[in-house]
């Protein structure tokens, strides 16, 4: 499939085109980047919601329940499962697929896992590309599930408009162990497994910890859910809609779009740097630069020199 056909298919929301485009992006190749660049102007309508939290707290179950709720509200939903911890086995992802069956059979839902073939930075780039694609394909909501609570998650969540941090009593609920970083990125906190003993205690300690954080215009609500029974999920959907309203009213929604455009520009600059490093026409200069830097010459000088030569060679080649 060529770029043009693929692009049009995605814009029409065709599932095969969406699947193919997501593969291009997940593979981290140049054509995937080009595709994202073309689709970006048509994105910006979807509400991108990140769902993160410790393993086993019920994120996938919650995604499933939330998807059903959003479908009831007549919204279409794209789902991305990001799993940097198991890029090869795919075992966890397969489990998620089975659990998400309810939603997968529905035409208004599209689910996909990102394999994170590269390093962590590549994962966040692929996630950004994938959410842009689903957005441009017309999905009203894009849900992104990531496991854990490390830097990789914070990175991936950077482009979500609303971040749900999920906790559960008895599992990853040791509030003291929650990194400050994860509290900061949460716009809504979900205490799942509300049917289990100790959930109210988890809510209380979470509330007091959040109270210690800097006061902000948006006070993150804490929602108790039992995702496997769908309890509390309607309330959660309302809180999510409330956060969207807040973002729009405070002009933050628009700022985020600008931030995304900036990110694309940064990525494009990084790509140029990578192209320069690989460019055979510059091999001699490259080698000479390396040895002179070893002798103690300043690297930025040679970087500028390489850039200048590359621009010249590229202009001549066109
Ligand atoms: N009791 C109870 N169990 C739940 C609830 N929600 C999910 N579970 C169970 O918790 C287990 C883990 O659920 P998942 O949805 O896979 O959790 P996850 O956070 O996606 O897990 P990872 O993706 O592996 O990090 C499953 O056995 C679910 O059935 C709930 O509200 N109450
Ligand atoms: Mg999961």
CATH of residue 80: 3.40.50.300
Tokens 């405070």 -> residue: 250
pLDDT confidence of residue 82: 85
- Looking at the structure, tell me whether residues 231 and 288 fall in a common domain: no
Domain that holds residue 291: 261-317
- Looking at the structure, tell me whether residues 176 and 273 fall in a common domain: no
CA distance 100 to 105: 9
Q: Which residues surround ligand 2, an ion (CB under 5 A)?
A: 59-60, 96
Ligand closest to 53 (CA) is 1
CA distance 46 to 228: 26
pLDDT digits (tens, 9 = 90+) for 207-216: 888 876 666 7
- Looking at the structure, tell me whether residues 242 and 309 fall in a common domain: no
Higher pLDDT, 277 or 92: 277
- Looking at the structure, tell me whether residues 95 and 244 fall in a common domain: yes
What pLDDT band is residue 279 in, cutting at 50, 70 and 90?
A: very high
- Asked if the structure places residue 35 within a domain, the reply is no
pTM (2 d.p.): 0.89
Into how many domains does the chain fold? 2
State which H helix or E strand residue 167 sits in.
Answer: strand 162-167
Q: How many angstroms is it from 62 CA to the middle of ligand 1?
A: 8
Average pLDDT of the chain is 86
Show the DSSP H helices in 165-280 as ranges.
180-185, 199-212, 233-249, 252-278
State which H helix or E strand residue 299 sits in.
Answer: helix 299-317
- Looking at the structure, tell me whether residues 159 and 295 fall in a common domain: no
pLDDT digits (tens, 9 = 90+) for 51-79: 998 888 899 999 999 999 999 999 999 99
Q: How many angstroms is it from 56 CA to the middle of ligand 2?
A: 7
- Asked if the structure places residue 255 within a domain, the reply is no
pLDDT digits (tens, 9 = 90+) for 154-171: 777 888 999 999 999 975
Give, in degrees to the nearest 5, the angle at Cα 125 between 56 and 127: 40
Q: How far is CA 117 from CA 20, 88, 90, 104, 157, in A?
A: 16, 9, 12, 24, 18
| Burial status of residue 107 (CB atoms within 10 A of its CB: 0-12, 13-18, 19 or more) | exposed
- Asked if the structure places residue 38 within a domain, the reply is no
pLDDT confidence of residue 227: 96
Q: How many angstroms is it from 271 CA to the middle of ligand 2?
A: 32
- Which of 230, 250, 270 is the endpoint of a domain? 250
- Looking at the structure, tell me whether residues 141 and 277 fall in a common domain: no
Contact indicator for 25, 126 with CB cutoff of 8 Å: yes
Q: Whose CA is nearest to atom 25 of ligand 1?
A: 55
Q: Which residues of 258-289 are buried (b: 16+ CB within 10 A; e: fewer)?
A: eebeebbeebeeeeeeeebeebeebeebbeeb
Q: How many angstroms is it from 249 CA to the middle of ligand 2?
A: 32
Pocket of ligand 1 (CB under 6 A): 55-61, 92, 147, 192-193, 195-196, 226-228
- Looking at the structure, tell me whether residues 105 and 235 fall in a common domain: yes
Query: Range with the lowest mean pLDDT among 7-21, 71-85, 190-204?
Result: 71-85
Contact indicator for 206, 222 with CB cutoff of 8 Å: yes
């Amino acid at each position: 499939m060529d770029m043009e056909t693929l692009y049009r298919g995605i814009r029409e929301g065709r599932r095969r085109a969406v699947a193919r485009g997501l593969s291009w992006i997940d593979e981290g190749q140049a054509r995937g980047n080009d595709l994202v660049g073309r689709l970006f102007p048509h994105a910006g309508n979807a509400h991108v919601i990140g769902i993160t939290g410790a393993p086993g707290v019920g994120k996938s179950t919650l995604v499933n329940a939330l998807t059903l709720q959003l479908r009831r509200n007549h919204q279409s939903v794209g789902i991305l499962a990001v799993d940097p911890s198991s890029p090869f086995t795919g075992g966890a992802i397969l489990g998620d697929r089975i659990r998400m069956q309810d939603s997968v059979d529905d035409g208004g839902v599209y689910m996909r896992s990102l394999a994170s073939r590269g390093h962590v930075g590549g994962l966040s780039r692929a996630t950004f590309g994938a959410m842009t694609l689903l957005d441009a394909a017309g999905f009203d909501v894009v849900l992104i599930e990531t496991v854990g609570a490390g830097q990789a998650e914070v990175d991936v969540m950077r482009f979500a408009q609303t971040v749900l941090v999920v906790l559960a009593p008895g599992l990853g609920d040791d509030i003291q162990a929650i990194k400050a970083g994860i509290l900061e990125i949460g716009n809504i906190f979900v205490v799942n497994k509300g049917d289990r003993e100790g959930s109210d205690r988890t809510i209380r300690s979470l509330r007091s910890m959040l109270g210690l954080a800097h006061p902000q215009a948006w006070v993150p609500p804490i929602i108790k859910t039992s995702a496997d029974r769908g309890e509390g999920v309607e309330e959660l959907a309302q809180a999510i809609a409330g956060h969207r309203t807040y973002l729009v009213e405070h002009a933050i929604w628009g700022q985020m779009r600008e931030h995304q455009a900036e990110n694309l520009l940064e990525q494009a600059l990084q790509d140029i740097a990578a192209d320069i490093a690989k460019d055979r026409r510059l091999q001699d200069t490259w080698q000479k630069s390396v040895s002179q830097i070893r002798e103690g010459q300043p690297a930025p000088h040679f970087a500028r020199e390489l850039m200048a030569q590359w621009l010249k060679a590229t202009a001549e080649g066109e």
